[in-house]
A and B are shown apart, each in its own frame.
Chain A
Amino acid sequence: MHGPPPEQLLKAKDYKSDVKPIWCAGCGHFAVLSAITKALAHLSLPPEQVALVSGIGCSSRLPAYTHVYGFHGIHGRALPIATGLKVARPDLTVLVTGGDGDGFSIGGNHFMHACRRNLDLTYIVMDNEVYGMTKGQASPTTDPGWEQSRLTPHGTGLPSFNPAAIALAAGAGFIARGFSGDPTSLTDLLIQGIQYPGFSFIHVLSPCVTYHPEQKAWKKTVHEQSQSTTADPVVAAQRIQQSDRMATGLIFKAISQVQQQQHPSKNISLEQISRQFVTHT
């Protein structure tokens, strides 16, 4: 076991694994990994009390790079897996990560139902408007005129999906947008999302420098939202529709009505857990 016991102050590096990420140099996902570990350290969550569930994609490799419980699931199915986990172990802090392809394309249906079910999950989507892992095809958030994909050389011609709008319409109580190029604010949003007692959706603009190199310009175009957070869904809807989708911050935070009855925390010690992993020879 590496990392200090829970009562001691934990550092971000205590949540990182020894596995070296195989992301491309400059990939936005690095900063998201780092922000997640910083948020966990800030909250001093014992690693064995945190689970990180992902789907399939470059972004979904993230659990392997952390030192918390991780599961690299099925493409598009991270949310159902996390839902099952949270229902069985409500005492765990469950984070869910993935990409725009994983979450909005093949797993789009689950996104809506997870918002609606409002379990205490934190869903972090690294949106690079492309399927990075399969080498650069258009996703539901791709600009309709983007012509760099070999699969859609004349663009998709389809309006892009607005994740915050869908989350709001489906009933999510916490909706934020972050940017991998601003890891400090992202860490702050993650902390708030994890603390929020219901389904929190954190849409992270995270560039794919290999298949969407134009996104390097996000450094200039991403900006902080001008208004403060609202708890009114009608106001939130209006702002989401009017925004250029590049505005970061906590957009909407409802007074949460969590559907899940919280079981009393099991409070299992690290020692008790490690005993479950003893191999008998």
Chain B
Amino acid sequence: MASPALKTTHPGCAQSIVCDGNEAAAWAVALSRPDLVAVYPITPQSSLVEYVSQFIADGKIQAELMNVEGEHSVLSALHGAALAGGRTYTATCGPGLAFMFEPYWRTPGMRLPIVASLVTRDGITPQCVWGGQQDAMTMKETGWIQIYCETVQEVLDTTIMAYRIAEHHDVMLPVNICHDGNYLSYGVTQVDVPEQAAVDDYLGEKDVNWHVALDPLRPMAVDPLTGGAGGIGPSKFVAYRKSLCDGMQNALGVIEQAHQDWADIFGREFAPLVEEYRLDDADYALVTIGSMTGAAKDAVDSAREKGEKVGLIKIKTFRPFPIEAMTRALSKVRAVGVVDRSVHYGWNCGPLYQEVLSCLYRTGKTISARPFIGGLAGADLTEAHFAKAIQATATMWADETTIDSPIWLNEND
């Protein structure tokens, strides 16, 4: 059962409810009026798609729900529907995302504006059903847009924005809205639910297969054979790749605009790419991603009270990587501690750390940096963990050193 309404608050908002992140995402999906939702259940995503299914059963949205035989079929079904002009949705995580991989990495190349929530879950082995961002991070090179949320309200709002971004004609790319399994999927807060009419206006007319379609009136070869060996030559393949890169770069501006318009209509502002928190006069900063940011901000506030000049940089859009916004933020400080919820094997750090290092090159100055890894397999990342990260970063700042080996924040928990 969907949560009961409390009261109406912001402009453009129909009601205020108390719910968890999975239900918030389901409200967003309902308000975005998809034509097809295909699912295969997996922890901690299951309740999300059950809420969507309830909305459909109650007639709140006119959509088809397909309960198919596995994630490979889930995304394949969405391919068919998107090519036929439908607005589509699914949600998955962890092993489900892994099983979805084959159609998953074809989706961006076909430029299908599918929206999928990743209720992020750590990778196995060893067996684990808890939150972590290893699943989403493993997919970062596939061409999907990836946006990570911090709060339940942000999950709701950003999931609607995802359709605006995905279906923008300069983008036409699939979007993953990532919300941390457990922390956000089951974390309950009060959220505002936008009005249907306002969302309809915000999203505009659906037009998702103008460029590639399974449509008898517009016969075309979808996904032609390119390259050598009987294909039409390397140039076509390169053209596909280049245009995908262009779509990704275009997305940066589109994501900013989508957030701006959202704020104008619904009165809620979120930093679209990179958020700077108490950064302007900071000597050093933490870099965070996703729901851990709340505890990290608290730790920053406490350290500030003790006179530490520490700030925080949160990344929201991870793909495309907001190089300029991140570089701008980094250039304000002289040391950073980067906290990842996943592992970047081969670099002995987390993926966010590795990408921050690339941006540091662009700042034109060498500053101290250190990777932290925490929150794996649902481990708690508390204010105390961030206090530890702040202290280690402060030491580095004072010593002007960079230490590449990671501090594993839950190693002794």
**A135 on the B face (CB < 8 A):** yes
Q: Tell me the chain A residues, 44-77 only, with Cβ under 8 Å from chain B.
A: 56, 72, 74-76
**B80 on the A face (CB < 8 A):** no
Q: Of A134, A152, A154, which contacts B46 at CB under 8 A?
A: A134
Given contacts A106-B99, A135-B46, contact A151 B39 (CB under 8 A): yes
Shortest CB distance B101–A (Å): 13
Query: A156 near B67 (CB under 8 angstroms)?
Result: yes
Chain A residues lying within 8 Å of B67, measured Cβ to Cβ, are: 137-138, 151-152, 156
**A123 on the B face (CB < 8 A):** no
Shortest CB distance B39–A (Å): 7
Chain A residues lying within 8 Å of B284, measured Cβ to Cβ, are: none
Task: Please count how many residues in chain A sit with their CB below 8 Å of the partner chain's CB atoms.
Answer: 21
Q: How far is the CA of A135 from the CA of B46 in the complex (A)?
A: 8
Over the window 126-142 of chain A, the binary record of Cβ atoms lying under 8 Å from chain B Cβ atoms (1 yes, 0 no) is 00000101110110100
**B54 on the A face (CB < 8 A):** yes
Chain B residues lying within 8 Å of A76, measured Cβ to Cβ, are: 70, 99
**B412 on the A face (CB < 8 A):** no
Given contacts A105-B70, A138-B67, contact A150 B50 (CB under 8 A): yes
Of chain B, the residue at the smallest CB distance from A142 is: B67
Query: A105 near B69 (CB under 8 angstroms)?
Result: yes
Of chain A, the residue at the smallest CB distance from B69 is: A105
Q: Tell me the chain A residues, 131-165 only, with Cβ under 8 Å from chain B.
A: 131, 133-135, 137-138, 140, 150-154, 156
Query: A75 near B95 (CB under 8 angstroms)?
Result: yes
**A108 on the B face (CB < 8 A):** yes
Query: A151 near B69 (CB under 8 angstroms)?
Result: no
Of chain B, the residue at the smallest CB distance from A135 is: B46
**Residue among A150, A151, A153 with the most chain B CB within 10 A?**
A151
Chain B residues lying within 8 Å of A151, measured Cβ to Cβ, are: 39, 41, 46, 49-50, 53, 65, 67
Chief secondary structure at chain A's binding surface: loop
Chain A residues lying within 8 Å of B53, measured Cβ to Cβ, are: 150-153
Chief secondary structure at chain B's binding surface: mixed
Given contacts A150-B50, A150-B53, contact A137 B70 (CB under 8 A): no
**B235 on the A face (CB < 8 A):** no
Query: A140 near B46 (CB under 8 angstroms)?
Result: no
Q: How far is the CA of A272 from the CA of B34 in the complex (A)?
A: 61
Closest 8 CB pairs of A and B: A106-B70, A150-B50, A134-B41, A153-B57, A105-B69, A137-B41, A134-B46, A151-B53
Shortest CB distance A10–B (Å): 29
Chain A residues lying within 8 Å of B49, measured Cβ to Cβ, are: 151
Q: Tell me the chain B residues, 63-117 only, with Cβ under 8 Å from chain A.
A: 65, 67, 69-70, 95, 99
Query: A153 near B69 (CB under 8 angstroms)?
Result: no
Residues of A within 8 A of B (CB): 56, 72, 74-76, 105-106, 108, 131, 133-135, 137-138, 140, 150-154, 156
Query: B95 near A74 (CB under 8 angstroms)?
Result: yes
Chain A residues lying within 8 Å of B46, measured Cβ to Cβ, are: 134-135, 137, 151
Given contact pairs A105-B40, A135-B46, A150-B50, enumerate 11 new A-B contacts (beta carbons under 8 Å).
Answer: A56-B95, A75-B99, A76-B70, A106-B69, A106-B70, A134-B46, A137-B67, A151-B39, A151-B41, A151-B50, A153-B53
Query: A140 near B69 (CB under 8 angstroms)?
Result: yes
Query: A106 near B40 (CB under 8 angstroms)?
Result: yes
Chain A residues lying within 8 Å of B95, measured Cβ to Cβ, are: 56, 74-75
Query: A72 near B127 (CB under 8 angstroms)?
Result: yes
Over the window 37-69 of chain B, the binary record of Cβ atoms lying under 8 Å from chain A Cβ atoms (1 yes, 0 no) is 001111100100110011001000000010101
Of chain B, the residue at the smallest CB distance from A104 is: B69
Q: How far is the CA of A152 from the CA of B37 in the complex (A)?
A: 13
Shortest CB distance A229–B (Å): 31
Chain A residues lying within 8 Å of B40, measured Cβ to Cβ, are: 105-106
Of chain B, the residue at the smallest CB distance from A131 is: B41
Of chain A, the residue at the smallest CB distance from B51 is: A150
Q: How far is the CA of A208 from the CA of B124 in the complex (A)?
A: 26
Query: B127 near A153 (CB under 8 angstroms)?
Result: no
Query: A153 near B41 (CB under 8 angstroms)?
Result: no
